[in-house]
Structure formats: structure tokens, C-alpha cells
Structure 1
């Protein structure tokens, strides 16, 4: 086996709260998906560098108005948080909590790449959970600052009656803004290791990675800061995630780093053991590039173009809906070679438009373009491309009450609705739209353009300043949308989604 070069970040896109395991020679990773559906993306790799999407844990999580983005309700910044992935005795487990539902979910399958997944729901929140299988018993370790341990049944699908349910320990609070959370628990070398993220409010004031260890599951635990580094990027500490051993005996941590509006990017960090303590990085620093004894593999993009040439109504894995879709209102088969979106619900803005179909953005730069057929739009309809975040921006077509068409660039106004920045009349039946993104050195900017022939482009509106905020708690996404403000039933056919990254 030769060596490959690892470059950080592993993926310059939003893959937050990574949880990674190895099964034989294959690595699997799950990450947070919140309000995007299907949820809990499963990625696969044979070298920890080149990842491909292979499955999702669930199509939808719940079916209430908030998850359906209905009547002004939503789950932005909620849904599934900080999922934990584990493999034990031939079964894969994914568990997480949902703040909006006040519930803890455990999904199980024998086939992580194909499913099906069985769903189990436990009342109550188990914040940032980690499953631990230990000598025939199953525990979930969870919490923020107050770290608790709860015993589950042997199949990890319910609370164990009369099982352990207690405070394990409290983490440091003095000088700490965000106390320890994001637990990843392991039993190795005769020790129990609990990995956490912590955010001090003094000193350098950046996130850091901690480890607590004990020879007894119930303590007492020793504490050690094992990584405090920002990889020379904007004082954004690299932290929160788990560890994995390769088949060749090398150890790595997979953590994340906040990277502006593109989101939380996964970072791989070499790990060495010293006196049974894990030491992360090289001389305490996260390397931007290093050699690893792992096999070469073909790179597979997690964001890519789509010509919508499908024979059935089945999305590629790169796509996720903003909240639950209404499956009666989209189609690849109604008009072959096109994605058809029908405006079936009235919405006050694109942020509340159902059936907005999204992919991640990527750094350092990327762009997306589409061609829309407008002939079946109705008065009051709006359709186009959206830079989807709390402070969103759009370029699209609006149909006035007199059926006139207007090409409009909008952004979120102070009232939360769409504020028109520039709007010009349009008389054609088809329109080309494009958005371009720049994430270099926190530029975090999007520009918007249109064309009547697909070759000559004109910029419309202003540069949109992108911002990562806790309102959505997600990196900016590119979306295709069509929604009604007056009456349902309007249709837009999208001919393609053409994506570039550079």
C-alpha cells in the first residue's frame, strides 16, 4: 500500500458534527442534517479522504406542520442534531435528539448502504449523544456541562427499566462560554475515553477538543485539553468529532471547523497515543496537508450537476429538500428531461416555500445555473434560484397580477420577507439563471445573473453578503424553488442544474 496526501478541510462544504466508524476496510460517516430531508446522510470512504454519499437514515423525521413548513411553522435550526454512528454485532446504529420534538431517536439496520432502517423513539432529550456498548450493556452518554449516562436495553431501542440513569460528572464552568458537549465515547486500552468540544470565554476564546478518561465507566475521570488550534483560520478552533483506527493501525480524529457562510467543514487530524492519552495534531497543530498510509481512491463529488434525465421520480443522493416535500407536487416523469415543480401551497417568502430542492455550496468558489420554462406560471407565482440561509437571496421570475413577467433579484428584508433589489420586465418563455459564490478568506459573497440565450449574462441586483447564523444553523445551500402567493397550481419546468467548483 502506498501513501496518499490528506488536505484540510477534507470537504470544503457543510458536513457538521461528523461521526465516523470503520467496518473492515470501509469507513462510514454520518453528520447533522437538521431541516434538510432526507436526513442523516451516510457517507462512505475507503481512505478517509474521498467520500461519497451512499444513503440517508430517514426520508422524513416527523409529519407535523413545522416539519412540513406549513402555515408559517418551521424547524430551521432544529430537526436532527449531532447524530452518533456505531456498529455492534452486525448492526449499525444511528442515534440523535430532536429539540423541537423533545425526543431521542435510535435507527438500526443490518445494511448501512441499502437499509431499511428501523426507527425507535424514546421520550426526552439526550443532548449530543454517544452510544457505548460495554460488556453486554448499552449506554448513552449525553449532555452539555452536566454529562449524564443513561442505560438502554440490549438492542439500544428503549430505556432499560431500572437501568442506570444518573449524572456522570460536571465539566469546567469558570471561564467557559460553552461547556463540554458533543460527546464521542470509546472503550480502549483498559480506559473509557469521552471526547468533547468546549468553548472558553477567556484566553484565545476559541473552540477546543477535550478528553476525559477513566479506568471505570462511572469515574472518577481525568481531564486533558488535547487540541487547541485554528489551522491559521480566523480563530475558529478545530473540534467536535470522534476518532477512528485504520486497518494499518494508524489513528485519526475527524472533527469540524466553522468556515463562515459555507458552514462547518470536516477536518482530519493525526492522532498519537502517549501514556494512554490521545494527542492530536503534529506538535499540537492541525496540519493543512500530510501523508497517510491509506489506499488511493476515486474522488466522488457530493455536489454536482444534474440534467434531470430520470425514468422515475427518484432523486439523486446529492439532493435534499428544504423541510419535508409534498411528493405530489414534483416530478421527473410528467415531462421527461425536466424537473417539474408545482406551486401547491401559498407562502409569504422563499424561506417558507415547500418543495425547494437544495444542494450544498462549496469553497473556495462555486456556481450553479439553470434554465426554466415559465409558460405555466400563474399570477403571483415566484420561481428561480435561491441562496438559502436565514439572510437569503434569490434571482427568479415573478408573475404580476396582469400576467407580466419580471426578472427579480431579492434579498431578505427587515420584515423577514423578500425585498426587491432590482427588477426588470421580461417577455420570453424561457430564462437562464445563475448564482456564483466566493468563500475565499471569508468573502462569503453571492452574485446573481440572468441570460436570454445561455451565453450572454447580465448581473442583476447587488452582491449578497452571506452569513452563517444560528437561525438556520446550516451552511448556505443552493435551491431551486417555485411557490405561489395568490393561487396554487402554477408550474415551472427546470431543464437542468449545472454546477461548477473552482
Structure 2
């Protein structure tokens, strides 16, 4: 036996040395096969931190951590509530889908972390600061006007700026405490037409991210030339205020918008993202070399394999995670993987009223899923994923609808709808833009199991809605949802746990668990 084991070990070493297992030993793009757009990234010592966009979700501006640029986990959010308005609260028929807070800028300066973002919903530019990005509290600052797609920048002379704009890129100096635009200063146009290197027309250059390396200033922007693809344009200058010269830095598969990150060993990568269908906008890493003081992304602007970085270990539990809704006394009420659709009403949800369950209680009347309060969400992940739950429906009231959903403008739902004393299985398919209802059997039990299976690979973008009476035998209900990424919501599809009322308030549904898997065979 020992001889056989030794022989097997030699064979493994041989194959590994000849690259047979190389694909398993190195990272591949997308680095995160989930909706993590508008990244901003920093390195502090040997640790990397990244902020991203989640717009109308609460809490907002997620902060993620990595030690290798490949494997990431959520560690914080910059805010719990962006604004207490009718639009953020889903009140009076209003919402802020696709708005909320947009592209953030993450910086580390003199021992403090800064996250800045901007919001058409609040009409402000927001700055959040902390000295402990993982466990600390955040100081909140905000000011007007809204500085679109800005890059927060601390220069070597101690002065602080924001670079912002679309097409025409501008510079504004801020107060030293980053509390607003410095009195007596004026905005300066840094680049009159940042689109120019990639041609005019199409999407104006935006998504500014500014860096200073070896005494030179590098400004990254995304453009989208008419008839072309999303493109990375880089401008360079010897002085902050210019003049700037620009060139196309990357143009392949529409991978664009981001900036530079360095590793302790001196290597550089560009972090960018790609529109990837219904799952959302997914992060990519592109190796960077330098030529004549210019960053060269990939192989002359084309994607190359990610050699030299470790393989990813999956997105669970760092980005998404199952939840049994069991809480110890010191545990947070909800793990960081969860976000609410808009601002929640804290009086109407609980993980303590019944041990081991999430309780969603109705507190007002709603007739449409997208206006319903307290839908609790997690990202979907690719290339495939399954979300499942079990509900106790015994305390639902006439007119209530509770279950499991796929949240986007063209949404899908599977759940239990109460009409009088009858509880009926219902699947709703809004994939074509308007909801189509399929009714199943009436239920004569208090517990019901639901599952949604998603396939995103090769842009298949379909979801199947399934139920079970016993958790063993599963049946499909309705039609497969054809998922589509829509700009009004500007977000990849999310699993959602929901309960809302159309006739009476005070009913509730108890969710026993939420399980997520990256394997369709895990049934």
C-alpha cells in the first residue's frame, strides 16, 4: 500500500509540474461572480479593502476584505440609512430603485479610512470616516452639490480634492476635514473632453479614479464609444491641475471602470467590472505592466490569464451565506450578507420573537411587490445558484402574500397567497415586464418549502420556481423566469424573503431558514 501511495504522489507532482492542474491552482475571472460594481480598492499593509455600489439597499456601501485580491468577505457597511425620505422608505407609492448611493471612493489617509459617495436621492455628496474599517463606528458628513462619480484624493501637500464629472472632468478642493468644498475656491476643468482618446459620441467619460505614482497623476475613466464597447481610458499628468494627455488603456469584452491596486511585492493589477447579464456587474482583475511611465493593462489592452494569484475558494460565506436565523446574545441581528430592499421598518421584523426564525409582520397595505416594505435580500451568484426556505404560514391573514422571490424590475415570486380562509400556492412571472400569475393547489398545512434555481452561465439567465409539501418531493410551479438586467433597477437579481398585506395588517410569516448553494444538484 505504501508503494502505491508513493507512486500516486509522484504522479500528482508530475501533473502539477506540467500544468495539468494549473487551472485549479490559479485565479480566474470574474474574481467575484456576483453583482459587485463600481469598485474602489485600497491596500493597507498586507490587507486589501474594497467598497462597492448597492444603491437602494440598506445598509449601504458594502466594505469587503481580502488578503490575496481573489477571496473576499464582507466586513462592514459605511451606513445603515442613507436618508430618511419617502423614496428610501417606500412611502406614498415612491421608491428610489436604481438611485440611492452610487459609485464610492475608498481611501486611507493618516490612519483613517474614508468612504465617499454621492446620491441623487439625497441630493448630496456623502463622506463616511472611521479609524477601524471592520468594527468601528462611522462619522457621517455630507454636503452639496452632488459630485458625480467622484474620486476622493489626498495629495502629498496635505490638500484634499474630489475629481468628478462626465465627459468634462472637473476638480474641486475640499476642506481639510472633508466636510465640503473649500470656501473661496472654484471648480477647475481638468479635461475638457475625456472621451477623446476613444472617439466622441456614446457614453461620456465617467467613473473617475485618480492615483499618484512616482510623482505622476493617473486618472482612470470609463467610456463607451458609439458602436463600440466599454473602454478604459487613462490620462496622465505631471501636475494635479494638468495638462493631461490620454490614451486607451483597455478594450476587451466590455471590461471597464475601476482603477489600480498594487501588491506588497510590487505587482500591479487593474480592478474593473463587466456587465454580465442578469447576475449583474462582476469584478475582473487585469495584470498591469509599465511602459514609458504608462500602465499597460493585460496584453496590449486585451485579457490575459490570471497567473500568480491563488484560486478562488468560492463566495460562501464571505459574499453570500445560508442562515438558520439562530442568534447568540452577542451576534448581530442579521449577518452582513443580508440587505433590505430600501429602508426597513424595524418594528415589523424580528429574529428573536421566535427562536430560529425570521418573522416578517405586515404593518400596512400594499398591492405590488416592488413597493412592499421589509423584503430581505441577498445577491445571487454565478454560474448557478439555488436559494431555498421553509415558511410557517399559520399566522398569515386574508390578503397576505409571503414567500421567496427574485428581485429586479422584471421580478419573479413563489409563495402563499391567502384569500379568505384559503391558502393557495402562487407563482408570479414578471419577466416580460408585467406580472403573470400561476395558481397552484390550495394548502391544508402550516408549513411549505420553496426553492429557486438560477442559471446564469453563458447568459442563460433563467430561474425555476419550485415548491415542496414535505421538503423531499419537489414540483415546479409556473414558467421559468427569463431574467433580464434592467437599468431602472440597475442591479443584478437578488433572492428575497417577503411578506406583505393587501387587506388586513398584523399577519406574519415565519421563515425557518434561508439556504444558498452554488450547485443545482444540491436538492
Fold shared per TM-score above 0.5: yes
**Corresponding residue of 1:154:** 176
1:306: how far off?
Answer: 0.7
1:22: how far off?
Answer: 0.1
Number of aligned positions between the proteins: 489
**Corresponding residue of 1:462:** 479
**Whole-angstrom distance in 1 between the partners of 2:304 and 2:499:** 44
2:214 alignment partner, one of 189, 202, 209: 189
Task: With the length of structure 2 as denominator, give the TM-score of the two structures.
Answer: 0.91
1:409: how far off?
Answer: 0.3
2:258 alignment partner, one of 237, 241, 249: 241
Instruction: List per-residue Cα deviations over 1:30-83 (Å, max 9, x = no partner).
Output: 000101111000000010001010011111111111101112111100011000
Q: Structure 1: which 5+ residue stretches go unaligned?
A: 231-236
**Corresponding residue of 1:199:** 224
**Corresponding residue of 2:468:** 451
1:346: how far off?
Answer: 1.5
Q: Point out the more displaced range, 353-362 or 165-174.
A: 165-174
Alignment of 1:29-178 (within 5 A): 29-134=50-155, 135-171=157-193, 172=195, 175-178=200-203
1:295: how far off?
Answer: 11
Q: Point out the more displaced range, 298-307 or 39-48.
A: 298-307
2:400 alignment partner, one of 381, 396, 405: 381
Contact 1:207/1:238 (8 A) holds in 2 = yes
Instruction: List per-residue Cα deviations over 1:3-41 (Å, max 9, x = no partner).
Output: 962210001000001100000110000000101111000
Counterparts in 2 of 1:74 and 1:298: CA distance versus 1, 3 Å: closer
Contact 2:162/2:172 (8 A) holds in 1 = yes
SS, match of residue 166 in structure 2: coil
2:244 is equivalent to residue 221 of structure 1: yes
**Corresponding residue of 2:376:** 357
SS, match of residue 102 in structure 2: strand
Q: Structure 2: which 5+ residue stretches go unaligned?
A: 1-21
**Whole-angstrom distance in 1 between the partners of 2:311 and 2:205:** 35
2:308 is equivalent to residue 291 of structure 1: yes
Contact 1:229/1:284 (8 A) holds in 2 = yes
**Whole-angstrom distance in 2 between the partners of 1:296 and 1:405:** 44
Instruction: List per-residue Cα deviations over 1:80-101 (Å, max 9, x = no partner).
Output: 1000000011111111110122
**Whole-angstrom distance in 2 between the partners of 1:87 and 1:199:** 30
Q: Point out the more displaced range, 66-75 or 281-290.
A: 281-290
**Whole-angstrom distance in 2 between the partners of 1:392 and 1:76:** 13
Bigger fraction of residues in helix: 2
SS, match of residue 257 in structure 2: strand
Instruction: List per-residue Cα deviations over 1:390-430 (Å, max 9, x = no partner).
Output: 00010000000x220110001238885x4313333222111
Task: With the length of structure 1 as denominator, give the TM-score of the two structures.
Answer: 0.94
Counterparts in 2 of 1:453 and 1:206: CA distance versus 1, 3 Å: same
Q: Which is greater in Rg? A: 2
**Corresponding residue of 1:233:** none
Contact 1:47/1:295 (8 A) holds in 2 = no
**Corresponding residue of 1:366:** 385
**Corresponding residue of 1:337:** 356
SS, match of residue 27 in structure 2: strand
**Whole-angstrom distance in 1 between the partners of 2:396 and 2:411:** 23
1:118: how far off?
Answer: 0.7
**Corresponding residue of 1:234:** none
Alignment of 1:262-281 (within 5 A): 262-281=279-298
Contact 1:47/1:296 (8 A) holds in 2 = no
